[in-house]
């Protein structure tokens, strides 16, 4: 992980004269048009930022990025055609200097570290003030990492100790895809609906369901559904 970790702060940092000479090209990926519009209006007020494009799906984002070449991509984890984690990995695989800042309503404790491992430079919850998003964009554009104090401390503790965090949730044992399936189960989707959304076969989804029951020590499909729905409700 390159650069330094900058903890979140409530104080807005004004861009320096040097920062203002070069505009940060920002691309917004979110499945809600009102969110994209609101972010665009706010970022357009910043003299050192330019919104160079937007998309509601991962497929559209990757296609548009071929011509817009953004410096920072704001990514929501819930997209019309899949999961933002996959998009982060695809952006990283391009091998360019584009940096990813996740701005999502998903539970930070469950997703922030996963996003960093996938290639993101930062994670913010959508409940945070837009001014903090502006600060985070400048931070990741400078090749630094933007995380909350809690997430940064947990990540560093795990790296330094080389051991499993005793406070870790059982969900931390799940792979990215398993957690994605778990969330979709919690949203009430059927096996076939999950398969369609993830472009996988129903048989593969059933295999993931079996892994989830084993890893989370759940006896049957009813317990899995209740557990997943409760988790979604708590982290909505």
**What pLDDT digit, counting tens, does each position of 142-174 carry?**
999 998 887 788 777 766 766 555 566 788 889
Residue 134 lies in a domain: yes
Same domain, 155 and 195: no
- Position 57 scores a pLDDT of 92
Confidence check: pLDDT of 198 > 50: yes
Taking a C-beta distance cutoff of 8 angstroms, is the pair 77, 100 a contact? no
Same domain, 67 and 112: yes
Quote the radius of gyration of the chain (alpha carbons, Å). Answer: 18
214: domain CATH number is 1.10.10.10
Domain count, the chain: 2
Which residues, including other chains, have CB under 8 Å from residue 5's CB and lie 6 or more apart?
144, 145, 147, 152, 156
Confidence check: pLDDT of 132 > 70: yes
> What percentage of the chain carries pLDDT values higher than 70?
86
Higher pLDDT, 81 or 179: 179
18: domain CATH number is 3.40.50.2300
Residue 20 lies in a domain: yes
Q: What is the 3-state secondary structure (H, E, C) of 165-179?
A: CCCCCHHHHCCHHHH
Mean pLDDT of 228-235: 86
Same domain, 146 and 97: yes
Closest C-alpha to 113, from 1, 228, 231, 225: 1
Kind of pairing between the strands at 78-79 and 72-75: unpaired
- Full residue range of the structural domain in which residue 50 is found: 5-159
- Position 29 scores a pLDDT of 96
Same domain, 184 and 150: no
- The per-residue DSSP string of the chain comes to --S-EEE--SSPPPPPHHHHTSPEEEEEE-S-HHHHHHHHHHHTT-TTEEEEEEESSHHHHHHHHHHH--SEEEE-SEETTEEHHHHHHHHHHT-SS-EEEEEESS-HHHHHHHHHHHT-SEEEETTS-HHHHHHHHHHHHTT-EEE-HHHHHHHHHHHHH-S--TT--GGGGS-HHHHHHHHHHHTT--HHHHHHHHT--HHHHHHHHHHHHHHTT--SHHHHHHHHHHHHHHT-
Mean pLDDT of 110-128: 89
Same domain, 59 and 126: yes
Residue 165 lies in a domain: no
> What percentage of the chain carries pLDDT values higher than 90?
59
Mean pLDDT of 210-218: 95
Same domain, 133 and 32: yes
Residue 207 lies in a domain: yes
Confidence check: pLDDT of 21 > 70: no
| Residue that terminates a domain, selected from 159, 193, 216 | 159
Confidence check: pLDDT of 75 > 90: yes
| Residue that terminates a domain, selected from 117, 133, 159 | 159
Confidence check: pLDDT of 55 > 60: yes
Higher pLDDT, 79 or 6: 79
Same domain, 127 and 149: yes
Which pLDDT band holds residue 3 (cuts at 50, 70, 90)? very low
* Token couple for 35: 């969110």
Averaged pLDDT score across all residues of the chain: 86
Confidence check: pLDDT of 34 > 50: yes
Same domain, 69 and 137: yes
| Residue that terminates a domain, selected from 108, 137, 159 | 159
- Position 170 scores a pLDDT of 81
- Position 148 scores a pLDDT of 83
Same domain, 66 and 121: yes
Higher pLDDT, 8 or 106: 106
């Amino acid at each position: 992980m390159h650069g330094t970790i900058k903890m979140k702060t409530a104080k807005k940092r004004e861009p320096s004269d040097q920062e203002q000479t070069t505009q940060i090209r920002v691309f917004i990926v979110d499945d809600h048009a009102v969110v994209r519009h609101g972010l665009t209006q706010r970022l357009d007020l910043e003299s050192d930022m330019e919104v160079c494009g937007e998309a509601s799906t991962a497929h559209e984002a990757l296609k548009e990025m071929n011509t817009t070449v953004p410096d920072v991509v704001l990514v929501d984890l819930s997209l019309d055609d899949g999961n933002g984690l996959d998009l982060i990995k695809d952006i990283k695989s391009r091998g360019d200097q584009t940096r990813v800042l996740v701005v999502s309503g998903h539970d930070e404790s469950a997703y922030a570290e996963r996003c960093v491992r996938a290639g993101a430079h930062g994670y913010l919850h959508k409940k945070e003030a837009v001014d903090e998003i502006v600060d985070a964009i400048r931070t990741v554009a400078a090749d630094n990492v933007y995380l909350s104090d809690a997430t940064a401390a947990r990540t560093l503790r795990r790296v330094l100790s080389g051991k499993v965090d005793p406070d870790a949730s059982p969900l931390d044992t799940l792979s990215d895809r398993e957690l994605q399936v778990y969330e979709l189960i919690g949203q009430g989707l059927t096996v076939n609906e999950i398969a369609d959304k993830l472009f996988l076969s129903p048989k593969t989804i059933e295999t993931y369901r079996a892994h989830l029951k084993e890893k989370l020590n759940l006896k049957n499909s009813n317990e899995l559904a209740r557990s997943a729905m409760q988790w979604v409700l708590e982290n909505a």
